[in-house]
Chains A and B, each alone.
Chain A
Amino acid sequence: MNAPHEDPGTLAPEHGAATPSTWSAPRAALGRSEHAGELERLEDKVLEGGRLTPEEGLFLHDHADLETLGYLADQVRRRKHPSGVVTYIVDRNVNPTNVCITDCGFCAFYRRPKAEDAYVLERDEIYAKLDELRDMGGRQVLMQGGHHPYLKSAWWGDLIADLRSRYPKINAHALSAPELDHLSKIDKRPVEEVIADLRDAGLGSVPGAGAEMLVERVRLIIARKKTDTDRWLDVHRKVHEAGLRSSATMMFGHVETPAERIEHLERVRQLQDETGGFTAFICWNMQPDGVPEEHLYPARVSPGVYLRVQALSRIYLDNIDSLQTSFVTQGMKMGQITLRYGCNDFGGSMLEENVVSAAGCARLEGIDVIERMISAAGFTPRRRNSWYGIDDEREAADSAACAPRSAVEAASTKLFEGGRWRDEWVAARDEHARNYVPAAVAAGGAQ
């Protein structure tokens, strides 16, 4: 059932002897002098646009200092986004249900079906949330929930179709791969059919959640009942084949080894080579406060480790266009810093967020703060749509050049063919970025 994939092979778990609870960053100056030759070779390779092998990725992970990782990530970001625009989307999370039968020990959000505070939101409650979002100029609702045992794909299709007709400017960015997989199981039909029906109902894009670590050894420990690695990737493959785009994520900083972090990046990169359907990659470290199996997890990794992994992701994922920061888990200060360590997208304004907030991590901010963080880091803030095209009043004349507004539109303009987004789409967007002149510069202003 699962499509075959290239085994990343040589990076067996035993390669990284260190476990996260004892792993610490290499000593910067010391490592740089001990490994000068290989680090410089890899530096040149990345600067010349070369692709890192998994072994090389692991070498950087284990031996490169933060300054080097930042430099390389910033250079890759400049190559992909030379205009200096940093995007974000006005959105909110709606979690239609917290009922879940997957029992992940790192999740503080879900409830068992008969729990007292288990819920399924009424339509009116959802409308009230989306009214607020529409009034703020919102462009996306991120809908994810628990794996509810009785809510089938028809329920979700009705919900999405209803919201699309009431709120035509708000894209439904909904249902992560494990949820789609779950719907296929309770519907008792192939996931392709579930995806096609939801797409026809108005689903516009798919979030990359539930990837956690795409390594079976790790999943068996942290998310035993959740969709496995091959299936997670295969659902995204089918999402891309259906003409939809999706994002990819990684949650690290728990029981994985450094080599397994690289393996995760490698699996994502391989699928992207195949389909080109991922818009963006987002990583964050596990937020362990108050989760059901808190005792099994090491202490939260410190921000410095997140920044290293973030930068390495930008360097490694040479075929993914956008890297999104995770200010909800990291705070605005780190959110801003990551813009110099490979990120070109500030994510969603998140009028509401419930999942990581349940794990002791509530850092929601206003749009004005997001704009200021982007500007103060030396970038031009612009709003975007779910497909990472610029959708901003300040750019009205240009927005058409950026991106198809929907997968359906993309398909109708033949940008999407044979299960793959055509290179023209990416080329047009890059061309736009190259020619883009920030308003401040065009007006003769100086920073």
Chain B
Amino acid sequence: MSQSDQKRPSRERRLLRRAEAAGLGSIAEKVLAEERLSLEDGVALYRAEDLLTVGALANHVRERIHGDRTYFNVNQHINYTNYCNKFCSFCSFDRLPGQPGAYQFTPEQAAEKIREQLHQPVTEVHMVAGVWPKIPYQYYLDLLKAVKAARPEIHVKAFTMVELDQIWKSARQVGRESMAEVLAELREAGLGSCPGGGAEVFAERVQLEGYAHKISGERWLEVAREVHRAGLRSNCTMLHGHIETHEERVDHLDRLRRLQDETGGFQTYIPLSFHPENNEWSHLPGPTAADELRELAVGRLLLDNIPHIKAYWILMDVPVAQTALAFGADDVDGTVVEERIYHDAGATTPQEVARDELITWIRDAGRLPVERDTLYNVVWSADEAQAQVGAPAPVAG
């Protein structure tokens, strides 16, 4: 039941009028009533001419959930190997062993990367990499243990569903059976949660054309279900802006939404922009800023059961990430020391950013910076007094 127009707050009436003018009136009614959007609504949002009104609807949801709060963390990346046998068309990072630039860190080398950042208030290490079947199961356990030994309090967010599928296969060769058993051991070794990568676009058509060797969309969702059942949280993603259609994107978001209804284990949805340099899909132009903003907004509107939407600054760059905070996003990722995967694909952003600068970006976008840990516990927050116009950014404690 929608409220009568008289009872609505003035701001909602204005948003509704604006959406009606943009041909999005029925969608706006649902958004204001906190009703779930249909798949058709999703396609309509992708096709609507008035980008700003799509953004305004997403902003309404974002502010209803988070107000001005905008999350970031102090994190570092370790891409522990670029060995990979998946040959995805969109990837510029993968190598075969022996190729120039191919590498695999030993657990000790990974631990050294952690020790290099001990002077920084890092709370999370994000570890993702290529998929290589000859890497033994024990390596993954040793990797986790070495990282935790180097910095015991750090949260290890590691291994996409694609990597977990391979880790499980390697584990079976040494007598492990179920994914649950493997996840329990990884957790014991130090795994804290899982990142959301490797989902790409679930649609089979796109998979066969672009990443046929990778696990299917259904398998990705199955592994994510196992992860959530094991008591671990994860993120989820979609790689957009290559050969997929609007309908295929909506289908992808719908599958994520249905799994989330079931498990509640996704913390954050992160749309990943396809970057076209140095890969088999270099002839494709890749998404523009307008596409990235729309993707975030549609994600916020369709994924009504996922708490956070992340504008990953390192792949969309600061202008888009700041604007995104008015398009549904409530998270900008972190300080990201040494990102490699997107930089191999032509990303021109810095490979890291200072904490104070991240805080300034959030403030300049009119939001309240909140430093979080991986599980969204508040580490530091600009309180109301500090958040007033003109207050200087506090220095890290």
Contacts and interface: CB of A to CB of B under 8 A. Distances in A.
Nearest to A334: B319
A409 interface: no
B288 A376 contact: yes
B361 interface: yes
A340 interface: yes
Interface in B310-336: 316-320, 322-323, 325-326
The residue among B55, B389, B390 with the most chain A CB atoms within 10 A of its own CB is B389
B11 A70 contact: no
A387 B231 CA distance: 64
A376 B390 contact: no
A337 interface: yes
A66 to B, nearest CB: 5
A337 B323 contact: yes
Nearest to B58: A67
A377 B288 contact: yes
Contacts of A32: 11
B63 interface: yes
A61 to B, nearest CB: 11
A28 B367 contact: yes
A27 interface: yes
Contact of A67 (B316, B326, B361, B389): B326
A336 B289 contact: yes
Contacts of B323: 66, 303-304, 307, 337
Interface stretch (A17-25, A95-103, A111-119, A209-217): A17-25
A27 B49 contact: no
Nearest to B348: A331
Contacts of A376: 288, 290-291
B61 interface: no
Contact of B49 (A31, A40, A62, A447): A447
Contact of B390 (A18, A304, A373): A18
Contacts of B293: 337
Interface string A416-427: 000000000000
Interface in A1-58: 17-18, 22-32, 36, 40, 43
A167 interface: no
B319 A66 contact: no
A184 to B, nearest CB: 40
Given A18-B390, A32-B11, A303 B322 contact: yes
Chain B interface category by residue count: 35 or more
B239 to A, nearest CB: 18
Interface residues of A, number: 44
Contacts of B68: 27-30
Interface in B203-240: none
A278 to B, nearest CB: 26
A412 interface: no
A74 interface: yes
A249 interface: no
Contact of A336 (B288, B360, B390): B288
A67 B293 CA distance: 13
Contacts of B14: 40, 43
B364 interface: yes
B47 interface: yes
The residue among B55, B68, B325, B391 with the most chain A CB atoms within 10 A of its own CB is B68
Given A23-B390, A36-B11, A333 B288 contact: yes
Nearest to B51: A340
B172 to A, nearest CB: 45
Given A25-B366, A27-B368, A17 B390 contact: yes
Nearest to B392: A22
B52 interface: yes
Contact of A25 (B10, B288, B363, B391): B363
Contacts of A27: 68, 366-368, 387, 389
Contacts of A23: 389-390
Interface of A: 17-18, 22-32, 36, 40, 43, 62, 65-67, 70-71, 74, 301-305, 307, 330-334, 336-337, 339-340, 372-373, 376-378, 447
Given A27-B389, A65-B326, A71-B56, 19 more contacts: A18-B390, A24-B364, A24-B389, A24-B391, A29-B63, A30-B68, A40-B11, A65-B366, A66-B365, A71-B18, A302-B364, A303-B319, A304-B319, A304-B364, A305-B364, A333-B288, A333-B319, A376-B291, A377-B51
Interface of B: 10-11, 14, 18, 47, 49, 51-52, 55-56, 59, 63, 67-68, 285, 288-291, 293, 316-320, 322-323, 325-326, 360-361, 363-368, 387, 389-392
